[in-house]
Chains A and B, each alone.
Chain A
Amino acid sequence: MTEVVIAGIGQIPVGEHYTLSLRSMGVQALTRALKDSGGLKPDALYIGNLLSSMISHQSNLGALFTDYGRLDSIEAFTTEAAGASGAAALRLGVLAILSGQADTVAVLGVEKWSDLVRADAEAMITQELDYDYESIPGLTSTSQAALIQQRYLHEHDLEQNALSGFALLAHANAVHNPFAFYRNPLTEEGYARAGMLSDPITIFDGATYADGAAALVLTRRELLPRGYAHPVISVMGSGASSDALSWHDRTEPMSFTAAVRAIDQAVQQAGLSKEQIDLFELDDAFSIYAALTLEGVGLADKGAAWKMARDGEYNIGGRLPILTMGGCLARGNPIGAKGVYQVVEAVTQLRGAAGANQVKGARAALSLALGGPASTAIAHVLKRESE
């Protein structure tokens, strides 16, 4: 059977890149990934992006990046799945190779956020919600997460700051990630002093949207260049699922069922059990997303993920490390590029190249990117080849 490997990874720091355009960010990440792959030549490029048509007034990114990335005339286009856009591009790349349509695929996640003032940009990302029935009444992605977190605190009778463990561990991990937006450690006191964004969500419970670009080069196992410089990391499973667009239309609003289905699909495809996963790059666009994901897939009891986060169960060296390079909460949330960053980080871990953040002996990693509050969910399982 065809084995899809991630031969190359590349990323630029997540942040406010006022000096860099959408195209220059994307080309930088692409160039780094292609170089890292040992010079593979892709025959397709899939791009994960959400906002370029609105913020940069630029669509048709396939032509843009093949042109500026000097990838000649190869097939190239964008996949859009809100915050899961980058993961969708990866999934498409995997499927293209498995189907035999492509041998080597470049996957680029790219997002330009900082060209607009915040209120205008917020109004645009709100389009990932149900525009007619959520956005027009005045909801944003952040305030929707606040509604979910408020309900969670109510159902489990918790204090406003119950979810602090996720922000604390994310910031602790980002200290050692040179590609992270926030590299300062966060204390419980600092968390408690944070300004409120949308009750009960403070600035530390909602990830900062930011510019970013990250890229992957996928190929068949047998096409790896001679003398390939890295341990071989394979994509063992890929899963995707969806749920009602409006959060208020969910039959089980507090269950991230699409996330659960996508993960189950990817893990089963990989022939693994969840206990064999060594690290989990989940989607922490908001702390509550992390809690509901962990509880949904059974990595925490209902209403208990916040406590496990506080108790260090998800720290590096804990029972199941998550957000090992800082996640969205501290690395920053590059939206449509998020899913690619997660996989770049997971590959870094599986290669054993994560430095101070290394999860010791990591062999298998799970990634999950969400579009909206698990309206769309795309999961991947990566595994390091045994020597």
Chain B
Amino acid sequence: MENPRYWRLKKQRYSLLGEVCPHCDSKIFPPRDICPECGGEAKTDFAFSGKGKVYSYTVMRDAPAGYEQNAPYTVAIVALDEGPMVTAQLTDLGEEPVRIGMPVEMVTRKLREDGEKKGILVYGYKFRPICFHENSQPASQGQAG
């Protein structure tokens, strides 16, 4: 289903590729070719670091169709270090309670599936807490979803 649509967005979904405005240096995600700050044309690619902080979050108990297998799951607004905010699920949370201001980083995970229908699995960005202990691996790195 809708294969071209997902294919078109793969640079955004897999690697947070946005734009930088050549006129005012605003960082733009998702790409929109017109700078929301100054209105100038902005078509220069910019790869975001994937680092940011939680601006708000919620735990969803009722998932819409296609997302039931993940429920309950946590969705957050992440303020990226470069400026823009994105809506994304949080993952690999372990026992750590989510809080506003929590530092997070982007990872790629499965977002949705079509259940019994023939179709593609949609992968894309989620965010996980940044691990401050350099020697320890994030606990659930291999876990999908």
Q: Spell out A's residues near B (CB within 8 Å).
A: 118-120, 122-123, 126, 132-134, 136-140, 142-144, 146-148, 150-151, 154, 195-201, 246-249, 253
Jot down 27 A-B pairs with beta carbons below 8 A, ordered by A. A122-B65, A123-B66, A133-B86, A136-B111, A136-B122, A137-B75, A137-B88, A137-B111, A137-B126, A138-B67, A138-B73, A138-B112, A139-B75, A140-B60, A143-B60, A144-B87, A147-B58, A151-B100, A199-B58, A200-B58, A247-B77, A247-B87, A248-B77, A248-B85, A249-B36, A249-B85, A253-B55
Task: Please determine whether B57 and A150 come into contact, CB atoms closer than 8 angstroms.
Answer: yes
B50 within 8 A of A: no
Q: Which residues of A contact B122 (CB under 8 A)?
A: 136
Please give the distance in Å from A287's CB to the nearest CB on chain B: 14
Q: Which residues of B contact A133 (CB under 8 A)?
A: 30, 86-87
| Contact flags B58-90 to A (C-beta < 8 A → 1, else 0) | 111111111110100101110000001111110
C-alpha gap A281/B88 in the complex (Å): 33
B86 partner, pick from A144, A196, A248, beta carbons under 8 A: A248
B56 within 8 A of A: yes
A146-B87 CB under 8 A given contacts A138-B73, A154-B100: no
Task: Please determine whether A137 and B124 come into contact, CB atoms closer than 8 angstroms.
Answer: yes
Please give the distance in Å from B64's CB to the nearest CB on chain A: 4
Q: In this complex, what residue of A is CB-closest to B73?
A: A138
C-alpha gap A120/B62 in the complex (Å): 11
Task: Please determine whether A123 and B100 come into contact, CB atoms closer than 8 angstroms.
Answer: no
C-alpha gap A36/B138 in the complex (Å): 67
C-alpha gap A151/B53 in the complex (Å): 13
Q: Which residues of B contact A122 (CB under 8 A)?
A: 62, 64-65
C-alpha gap A195/B76 in the complex (Å): 21
Please give the distance in Å from B12's CB to the nearest CB on chain A: 8
- Count: A-B pairs, CB below 8 Å: 102
Task: Please determine whether A137 and B65 come into contact, CB atoms closer than 8 angstroms.
Answer: no
Question: DSSP majority for the A interface?
Answer: helix
A147-B36 CB under 8 A given contacts A132-B9, A137-B111, A198-B60: no
Number of interface residues of B (CB under 8 A): 35
Please give the distance in Å from B99's CB to the nearest CB on chain A: 9
Q: Which residues of B contact A143 (CB under 8 A)?
A: 58, 60, 75
Task: Please determine whether B87 and A137 come into contact, CB atoms closer than 8 angstroms.
Answer: yes
Task: Please determine whether B57 and A147 come into contact, CB atoms closer than 8 angstroms.
Answer: yes
**Additional A-B contact list (7), CB under 8 Å, known A147-B56, A195-B61, A199-B58:** A118-B62, A120-B65, A137-B126, A138-B64, A154-B56, A196-B59, A198-B60
Q: In this complex, what residue of B is CB-closest to A118?
A: B62
Q: Which residues of A contact B126 (CB under 8 A)?
A: 137
Task: Please determine whether A138 and B75 come into contact, CB atoms closer than 8 angstroms.
Answer: yes
C-alpha gap A82/B56 in the complex (Å): 24
C-alpha gap A201/B55 in the complex (Å): 17
Task: Please determine whether A246 and B100 come into contact, CB atoms closer than 8 angstroms.
Answer: no
Task: Please determine whether B77 and A119 come into contact, CB atoms closer than 8 angstroms.
Answer: no
C-alpha gap A269/B134 in the complex (Å): 62
C-alpha gap A144/B66 in the complex (Å): 18
Q: Which residues of B contact A132 (CB under 8 A)?
A: 9, 30
C-alpha gap A246/B12 in the complex (Å): 16
Task: Please determine whether A138 and B30 come into contact, CB atoms closer than 8 angstroms.
Answer: no
Q: In this complex, what residue of A is CB-closest to B77?
A: A248
A198 partner, pick from B62, B66, B77, beta carbons under 8 A: B62
Q: In this complex, what residue of B is CB-closest to A200?
A: B58
Task: Please determine whether B58 and A146 come into contact, CB atoms closer than 8 angstroms.
Answer: yes
| Max chain B C-beta neighbours (<10 A), residue from A132, A195, A197 | A132
Q: Which residues of B contact A198 (CB under 8 A)?
A: 58-62
C-alpha gap A142/B64 in the complex (Å): 11
Closest 3 CB pairs of A and B: A146-B58, A123-B64, A248-B85
Please give the distance in Å from B1's CB to the nearest CB on chain A: 13
C-alpha gap A278/B88 in the complex (Å): 42
Task: Please determine whether B56 and A150 come into contact, CB atoms closer than 8 angstroms.
Answer: yes
A138-B86 CB under 8 A given contacts A120-B65, A132-B30, A147-B75: no
Please give the distance in Å from B69's CB to the nearest CB on chain A: 11
C-alpha gap A223/B40 in the complex (Å): 51
Q: In this complex, what residue of A is CB-closest to B13?
A: A136
Q: Which residues of A contact B77 (CB under 8 A)?
A: 147, 151, 247-248, 253
A151 partner, pick from B56, B60, B75, beta carbons under 8 A: B56
Task: Please determine whether A138 and B70 come into contact, CB atoms closer than 8 angstroms.
Answer: yes
Q: Which residues of A contact B68 (CB under 8 A)?
A: 119
Task: Please determine whether B88 and A119 come into contact, CB atoms closer than 8 angstroms.
Answer: no
